[in-house]
């Protein structure tokens, strides 16, 4: 990886992606954004069939965007680099073709919640707090904290966190649908590994296609899903085989 604070290990068909900046509560700066995007590309090119995302240490899954990294940017740099690059990385994470499990092993705030929203399954440890503090700092939830978060959690919950400043415990988050499972502190990775093993027992191509269709139903990536499915159908057709044969043989195709 280009940044050691984003660690990726692929082993036994499981990609394990870890934010490694515990001294800063796993807050994300520009270098980590770039490395996160690269990690998604590396996962897609690997043998992995499921991914697990977590943060190092027990205090924070991620405190979100590092204030020191963006607070001194001018408006143009903030919009063009910080927000746009962050969207590219988070979109790539949400659109991984394999299932993604997030282990919320510490507080999940702001961009950390936006990161968690990219996952297909969220497992929270019992001590975790979840919220969106950005408007209290004079900024918006800028990495799809109003868009993807509303699609996946419901706009009412996003309003409660972003507009009214509510912060939820792990048990409250479970009841509200922000997370899918709550485990004791320190047991999140074990629960994620068990979930990953369940994924590995399912057919990989069917799992990939099902995730794509669910994403399309949420409006996550409609255009790419339509083109990918249509392209796969065309690639499997006799028409393509004939077209390629005709090209190689330098003759008109007989469709």
Characterize 188-225 residue by residue with b for buried, 16 or more Cβ atoms within 10 angstroms of its Cβ, and e for exposed.
bbebbbebbeebeeeeeeebbbebbeebbeeebbeeeb
Query: Which pLDDT score, from 0 to 100, does residue 182 have?
Result: 98
Q: What angle do CA 83, 225, 245 make, to 5 degrees?
A: 125
- Of the candidates 134, 171, 220, 242, the residue annotated as catalytic is 134
Active site residue 220: no
Residues 110-138 have a mean pLDDT of 95
Active site residue 114: yes
Q: What token pair was written down for 168?
A: 């939820």
Q: What percent of the chain has pLDDT over 90?
A: 69
What are the tens digits of pLDDT across the range 99-114?
999 999 999 999 999 9
- Of the candidates 56, 114, 125, 220, the residue annotated as catalytic is 114
What are the tens digits of pLDDT across the range 33-62?
999 999 999 999 999 999 999 999 989 999
Residues 6+ apart with CB under 8 A from 77: none
| Residue 1 reports pLDDT greater than 70 | no
Q: What is the CATH number of domain 6-200?
A: 3.90.226.10
What are the tens digits of pLDDT across the range 207-233?
999 999 999 998 887 767 777 777 777
What are the tens digits of pLDDT across the range 142-195?
888 899 999 999 999 999 999 999 999 999 999 999 999 999 999 999 999 999
Estimate to the nearest angstrom the gap between the alpha carbon of 171 and the chain centroid: 22
């Amino acid at each position: 990886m280009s940044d050691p604070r984003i660690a990726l290990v692929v082993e036994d068909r499981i990609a394990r992606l870890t934010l490694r900046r515990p001294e800063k509560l796993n807050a994300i700066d520009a270098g980590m954004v770039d490395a996160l995007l690269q990690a998604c590309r590396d996962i897609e090119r690997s043998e992995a069939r499921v991914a697990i995302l977590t943060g190092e240490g027990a205090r924070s899954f991620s405190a979100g965007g590092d204030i020191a990294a963006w607070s001194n940017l001018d408006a143009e740099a903030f919009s063009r680099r910080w927000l746009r690059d962050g969207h590219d990385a988070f979109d790539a994470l949400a659109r991984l073709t394999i299932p993604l499990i997030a282990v919320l092993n510490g507080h999940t705030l702001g961009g950390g919640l936006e990161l968690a929203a990219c996952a297909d399954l969220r497992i929270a440890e019992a001590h975790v707090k979840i919220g969106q503090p950005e408007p209290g700092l004079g900024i918006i939830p800028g990495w799809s904290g109003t868009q993807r978060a509303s699609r996946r959690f419901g706009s009412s919950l996003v309003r409660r966190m972003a507009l009214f400043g509510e912060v939820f415990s792990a048990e409250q988050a479970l009841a509200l649908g922000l997370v899918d499972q709550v485990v004791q502190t320190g047991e999140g990775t074990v629960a994620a590994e068990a979930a990953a093993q369940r994924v590995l027992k399912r057919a990989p191509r069917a799992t990939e296609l099902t995730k794509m269709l669910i994403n399309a139903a949420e409006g996550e990536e409609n255009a790419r899903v339509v083109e990918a499915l249509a392209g796969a159908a065309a690639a499997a057709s006799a028409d393509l085989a004939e077209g390629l044969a005709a090209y190689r043989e330098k003759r008109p195709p007989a469709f």
